[in-house]
Amino acid sequence: MRHILRVAALLACGLATPLAAENYALLVGVSDYPELGEDAALNGPANDVALVRSFLTSSSQVAFAEGNVTVLADGVEGADAPTAEAIRSGLTELAERAGEGDFVYLHFAGLGAQVPARDDASEPDGLNEVFLPADAGRWDAEAGEIRNALGDDELGDLLAQLRQNGADVWAVFDTAFGGTSAHVARNGTGEVRSRKASPEMLGLPDAPDEEAGGTEAEDPRARPEPPLGPAELGAEGDEAAGGGLTLFFAARTPEQTAEMRLPPRHPERRAQGIFTYALFKTLAERPGGSYRELARNILREYGIANLTRTTPVFAGDLDLPVLGGTPERRILQWPAEREGDLVRVSAGTLHGLEPGAELLMLETPEDADERAIGRYRVSEADTFSAELDVVTGPGNWPEGAVLRKVSEALDYSLRVALPEEGSAPARRLEAAVAQIAAKALVGPRVSFVPAGEPADLRLAVLPDSPRPNAIWFLPASGMVDRGQLAATPSVSTADKDVEDLARVIARNVGRFATTINLMKMAAAVSDPALPVEVTFRAGRYDRDAQKVVEGSHHALDPLSVPRVLPGDVVGATLENGAEVPVDYNILYVGSDFSLTFLGNGRLEPGDSLSRDYVLVDPAAFGRERLIAVLTPATAQSAVESLSFLAQEGVQMLRGGTGMAAMLGEAGLGESAQGSVAFHNAGGEENPGPAIRQLDLETVPQAD
């Protein structure tokens, strides 16, 4: 109605100018739950909404007026309490304000849960997903509900109201809707908290079986449904539903998500939702494009940072441009700012400006890199700002000059946190680490740090696990769901002497270092200008006939982290649309972070290749990854081979060109330098190397 009245007024005045679209946001962060006790308290939601608000109003590619950003959060100055009524009112008010052509961003950070459904017929698993506002209570058996909880049906209705006037909506949920209990590496810091409310915390009857890992679909290969499913929100592309709808969830329903202090190793790090931070770091570093591209890059960020093994879920209209903007990618550049001798930009660690990253000064935003009039290097950075040192620069800055990011400061070191002291396995490991240092069994970029220190990989003793005497290899958060434990690498200690344990620990740490650094390189060289189409696929293998079942091949959606079973084959189709030859190398990362070289070759312009590379082994299951490394080649040159990556003791190549040389620079061997400024000189006329990858989950055969 608001838009109809405004249009009528304009026409009455003889004006036919179309209305400018408005951008709105509602940011909900719930940290304190007075009725659920101290165990329910979180540290990160207030920081999440503060980060999102700062991004939308200062760094976003699409402008959000501060008056159009509503914050409901405890612990945020000037914000109203995130009660159930305040959230309902905020969504209803947005539905009244937002109309055709407008854009609405919603962010929910806090606890989620699964509760018994009133109508089992509408929920096949008999459970409803709920988000818990600040005034959420415990389970009311008589009413059959959590007081003040916002259920999936109600949230679906509220989102439908937002869309009915034609507004596009993007809703992000950084919470866990269910999930089994988690193992957490004990380190005495309390830095990591799960965003799932346990059945005991809520007083729920008949708590779900913790070891079962949640209710699975009948078909283990089926794509997991989002917590807010099509039944609540309408089918994709349903014109009657109004504007577009895109949904990002931090985790699948059977999984947990967590918060921890981020960015890792930064002296001023603070508690953030892992998903919120990864999302906005990706959005800041790669502005523009579609939600599908953003989702793909978030999965890549998860592989690089090794923060968690949770699987995000992406649903809805994924081919719309992010934040309702334009689909074109933006160059990362910012106005040059100077205060005396101090040079700074209004971008920081969220935008990938770590110390060591380099920027060019250009007279105008349209200038090519070759016309740079200066070069600067980041010396210090926080989330939204960075200070720069002059490498070369003009005496007088031209008005309107910009600083353009041209290199990544890639940190190829690996920090490994030791378990909390006191247990027998921890004492054995301490002796083994001394042997590792004495015999230099790992490269100089690997360091072992105490349990409470920031780290990329955590070694843990889990007394309540099936292997209480083992050393477990956990992500940086130190948290792993019980349902994921069987697929989590571990090393027994009771059956090994110190030297044997040292060799096994060193070999496994080396695997992690190599793979994580390869993921860092993958992000740096994901050059969209290289026109090689890669489609990952799966099929069924007939062991009796020893061949792939005819007609069983089907494309895999990388965003869903597809599940495959023993007897499935996984492969890829490569099509070279470039005007130059392209070398390809196919690698496979196992759930134990092992690297297998599967083959290489060269595609001439116009060539294509379809091949199966992996037969899923019945004994292996967990998160794995198929990687295609693509490098432009020159005529008559030797085909590039990355087979050296699969060697147990990686011997670095000296010299060389292409991807092999860059991996040498990445320090998968001997150099002790912690960070390297990596330049990826791409562009449509001279595309650089690219890496395409598929995360997948190998699961045991259903009984």
Q: Are residues 435 and 561 in the same domain?
A: no
Is the residue at 330 inside a domain?
Answer: no
Is the residue at 14 inside a domain?
Answer: no
Range of the domain at 318: 21-324
Is the residue at 572 inside a domain?
Answer: yes
pLDDT more than 90, % of the chain:
37
Q: How far apart are CA 37 and CA 203, in angstroms?
A: 12
Return the closest-CA partner of residue 224 out of 621, 695, 562: 562
Q: Is the pTM of this model over 0.95?
A: no
Q: Are residues 457 and 571 in the same domain?
A: no
For the segment 470-477, the average pLDDT, to the nearest whole number, is 90
Which range, 118-127, 450-459, 664-673, is most confident?
A: 450-459
Q: How far apart are CA 292 and CA 216, in angstroms?
A: 25
Is the residue at 228 inside a domain?
Answer: yes
For position 187, which CATH number holds? 3.40.50.1460
Domain end: 513, 539, 562, which one?
Answer: 513
Return the closest-CA partner of residue 451 out of 430, 414, 421: 421
* pLDDT surpasses 80 at 669: no
Q: Are residues 139 and 224 in the same domain?
A: yes
Q: Are residues 59 and 174 in the same domain?
A: yes
For position 495, which CATH number holds? 3.40.50
Q: Are residues 232 and 105 in the same domain?
A: yes
Q: Are residues 393 and 542 in the same domain?
A: no
* pLDDT surpasses 80 at 228: no
Domain end: 490, 513, 536, which one?
Answer: 513
* pLDDT surpasses 60 at 659: no
What DSSP state is assigned to residue 102? -
At residue 349, the 3 state secondary structure works out as: helix
Is the residue at 283 inside a domain?
Answer: yes
Q: How far apart are CA 83 and CA 90, in angstroms?
A: 10
Q: Are residues 71 and 94 in the same domain?
A: yes
Q: Are residues 352 and 499 in the same domain?
A: no
Is the residue at 119 inside a domain?
Answer: yes
Q: How far apart are CA 79 and CA 37, in angstroms?
A: 22
Is residue 346 within 8 Å of residue 388, measured between CB atoms?
no
* pLDDT surpasses 90 at 272: yes
DSSP assignment of 563-605 equals EE-TTEEEEEEEEE-SSS-EEEEEEEE-TT--EEEEEEEEE-T
CA dihedral 13, 17, 18, 22 (to 10 degrees): -90
User: Which residues sit opposite 277 in a β-bridge?
Assistant: none
Q: Are residues 501 and 538 in the same domain?
A: no
* pLDDT surpasses 90 at 558: no
Using DSSP bridges, classify how beta strands 532-542 and 479-481 pair: parallel, antiparallel or unpaired: unpaired
E strand or H helix that includes residue 471: strand 470-474
For the segment 540-564, the average pLDDT, to the nearest whole number, is 89
Is the residue at 6 inside a domain?
Answer: no
For the segment 350-358, the average pLDDT, to the nearest whole number, is 87
Q: Which residue has the higher pLDDT, 347 or 655?
A: 347
Omega before residue 335 within 30° of 0, cis:
no
The whole-number pLDDT of residue 584 equals 93
Q: Are residues 484 and 430 in the same domain?
A: yes
Q: What share of the chain is helix, strand, coil (3-state, %, to 5)?
A: 25, 30, 45
Which of the four pLDDT bands, split at 50, 70 and 90, describes residue 386? very high
* CA–centroid distance for 578 within its chain: 29
Longest dimension (CA), the chain: 89
Is residue 257 within 8 Å of residue 251, measured between CB atoms?
yes
- Residue 415: which residues within 8 A CB-CB, separation 6 or more? 265, 447, 448, 449, 453, 454, 455, 456, 457
Is the residue at 367 inside a domain?
Answer: yes
E strand or H helix that includes residue 548: strand 547-548
Overall number of domains in the chain:
4
Which of the four pLDDT bands, split at 50, 70 and 90, describes residue 165? confident
Question: What is the chain's mean pLDDT, rounded?
Answer: 81
Q: Are residues 579 and 482 in the same domain?
A: no
The whole-number pLDDT of residue 47 equals 95
Q: How far apart are CA 212 and CA 449, in angstroms?
A: 34
At residue 394, the 3 state secondary structure works out as: coil
For the segment 198-220, the average pLDDT, to the nearest whole number, is 63
* pLDDT surpasses 80 at 562: yes
Q: Which residue has the higher pLDDT, 19 or 405?
A: 405
Q: Are residues 485 and 603 in the same domain?
A: no
Return the closest-CA partner of residue 284 out of 299, 294, 272, 296: 294
